[in-house]
Structure 1
Amino acid sequence: MNGTIRFPHLGITLEHVIRSVHVGGIEIACYGIVLAAAMVTGLLLAMKVAEKTGQNPEDYFDLGIIAIIVSVICARIYYVVFSWDYYREHLSEIWNIRQGGLAIYGGVIGGVLTVWLFCRVRKLRFCTVLDTAVPGLVWGQVVGRWGNFFNREAFGGYTDGLLAMQLPVSDVRAHEITEQMREHLQVIDGVEYIQVHPTFLYESLWNIGVLLILLLVIFRVKKRFQGMTVLMYFLLYGAGRFWIEGLRTDQLLLPGTRIAVSQVLSAVLAAGALVLLAAGWIRERNTKT
């Protein structure tokens, strides 16, 4: 492995970017470290939002521990299901997530189901809990995407834009290198590089914007209804993910088609959220009059 990652138009060259660290003879993937940091900091943010909005942070700690476990399992199941052509021939790799392979929408689905069951047991309001927890989810996505950076994955096709990223051919999966990338291979100091969209970075930056908007809604918008924050998340994240997913070369496809399942789900969630937001605003306006 070469280990170099370059952003040529920004004048940034990162050498010896590692994939893992060794602690006491045990190899720990950077991907896992980043995901752990994303989950812990996301949980802490959700607890802080709960405290600031007059709720019990301990409820969110308990929920977070359960939701993290369920979400990781569901994220992996989602990824494996839509990559079954590969995994049916490699059954032993199904639960090996060290090299990546977690689909965020699978995690979101698992998380929402966990919240619903938790609220039933604790007698909490489902929409209120979702509204409070979703900033933590978004922050987890902001941080978690950097696991893809260390794994040299979740990148897009060839680009010569400002944020273009160069990766050594030897450091990426061969099947993710498109013909267009090969046509624009660059040799630098004897090393072949592909030049691609850093879609993990796009999504991380997009989610920072989503998070800021959600926090403004929670703490600055006085006339809001229950579920409004989580609907804003589905609308904003869905719109951004629809665009970003179209750039990626590692899309999960609907079986028997060339249609990216995450683009379909993003479009459905964004459109559905927009309709529900409009209905909520109309209902609130009619209630006030």
Structure 2
Amino acid sequence: MTFAYIPSPPVSSFSIGSFPIHYYALTMIVAIVAAAWLGGARWKRLGGNYDQILDIAICAVPAGIIGARLYHVITTPERFFGSHGRWVDIFNLRQGGLGIWGAVLLGGLAAWAWCRHKHYPAALLCDAMAPALLVAQAIGRIGNWFNQELYGAPTDLPWGLKLNDAGTAMGSQEQCYDGATCPTGTLFHPTFLYEMIWDLIGAALLVWIGRQWSARLKAGSLFTIYVMWYTAGRTWIEALRIDFAHMILGLRVNVWVSIVVFIMGAVAFAMVNRRGKPVALLSEKLRTVTEMEERRLVSRPS
């Protein structure tokens, strides 16, 4: 008999009139706001301001969502172009399916392009946002709990996840992807919770490293550490999951992606600290650009 477990929410959405509101979408909004607020506070200490972060977010967030969706489509094409798939579902985000790698890639490219246009040091932005991104990713995993998705193999541990099909709950039909039927009451590894904890530990670690080693590390270093930390955790957490995924040489595709990106992050860390610029130098540049923007804003005729 199981005496302890993590329950699943009996609902995944609520309605305002006839319009459904999904808790997953709400957690994404909270995650974006948290990232902008936390990253903005760090950016401000480096010489920028919140208006700059909001402008960057206007470019990066839509690009990140598009990139996240494209990554999901590319890695699971049969869901949209297979015999039972519909390509128009690519645009139906209510069915879920967002990949963090695509979000970081396209969102990062959009942020870099805006920084280049406005002459902001992109390396400083990366460092400012690194802990904030981990916090945002941790918040986003709460949405997976509401959806009853991204859980792992069966377990008898006291923190196993118990599924249900009450109310508007989603995802309970996704248990046992190998085609077998799990006995009623089976508990599963809450891999979304593992990743949430891993992300929060990483965010705290990045803040600590930034404070202790700011004089030694070049600008951009914290972001490369973020990449290595996240991918290291994603590698072992992904291996626990049992939802459908394409396999390459016995490993899930996202495990391979994590391994490759970890190596790229390690190489980038070495290159940044060999050829990068000091944080203090770029921070002074950012303060100068910010002061020029503020003076132009004040002198602009009303």
TM-score where L is the length of structure 2: 0.80
**1:31 maps to which residue?**
24
Deviations 1:170-218 (A, max 9, x none): 85364552459735x2xxxxxx333211111110100001100111122
Matched residues in 1 for 2:66 and 2:178: separation? 34
Mapping 1:172-187, distance limit 5 Å: 172=171, 174=173, 176-179=175-178, 182-183=181-182, 185=183
| Aligned match for 1:75, one of 68, 85, 98 | 68
Check if 1:118 corresponds to 2:114: yes
**2:289 maps to which residue?**
none
Matched residues in 2 for 1:9 and 1:271: separation? 42
Mapping 1:93-242, distance limit 5 Å: 93-168=89-164, 171-172=170-171, 174=173, 176-179=175-178, 182-183=181-182, 185=183, 192-221=184-213, 222-242=215-235
Counterparts in 2 of 1:169 and 1:203: CA distance versus 1, 3 Å: same
| Aligned match for 2:56, one of 63, 72, 83 | 63
Counterparts in 2 of 1:12 and 1:232: CA distance versus 1, 3 Å: closer
Matched residues in 2 for 1:109 and 1:276: separation? 15
Once the 2 structures are TM-superposed, how far is the Cα of residue 114 of structure 1 from its aligned partner? 1.1
RMSD: 2.4
Deviations 1:151-181 (A, max 9, x none): 1111111112232111137853645524597
Once the 2 structures are TM-superposed, how far is the Cα of residue 49 of structure 1 from its aligned partner? 0.8
Matched residues in 1 for 2:175 and 2:58: separation? 34
Using the TM superposition, name which of 271-280 and 73-82 deviates more: 271-280
Secondary structure (helix, strand or coil) at the match of 1:28 reads strand
Deviations 1:8-42 (A, max 9, x none): 5545546x631111113311111111111111111
Matched residues in 2 for 1:229 and 1:130: separation? 8
Deviations 1:97-122 (A, max 9, x none): 22321111111111211122112211
Identity of aligned residues (%): 28
TM-score where L is the length of structure 1: 0.84
Contact conserved, 2:10 with 2:165, CA < 8 A, in 1? no
Contact conserved, 1:157 with 1:181, CA < 8 A, in 2? no
Matched residues in 2 for 1:84 and 1:257: separation? 19
Matched residues in 1 for 2:44 and 2:61: separation? 20
The number of aligned residues is: 268
What residue identity is the alignment partner of 1:129?
Answer: L
Once the 2 structures are TM-superposed, how far is the Cα of residue 276 of structure 1 from its aligned partner? 3.3
Matched residues in 1 for 2:45 and 2:212: separation? 12
Consecutive unaligned residues in structure 2, runs of 5 or more: 277-302
Contact conserved, 1:67 with 1:110, CA < 8 A, in 2? yes
Consecutive unaligned residues in structure 1, runs of 5 or more: 1-7, 186-191, 285-289
Counterparts in 2 of 1:87 and 1:258: CA distance versus 1, 3 Å: farther
Matched residues in 1 for 2:24 and 2:151: separation? 15
Secondary structure (helix, strand or coil) at the match of 1:21 reads strand
What residue identity is the alignment partner of 1:75?
Answer: A
Higher relative contact order at CA 8 Å, sep ≥6: structure 1 or structure 2?
Answer: 2
Q: List 4+ stretches of structure 1 deviating above 6 A.
A: none
Check if 1:18 corresponds to 2:11: yes
Contact conserved, 1:87 with 1:94, CA < 8 A, in 2? yes
Matched residues in 2 for 1:127 and 1:81: separation? 29
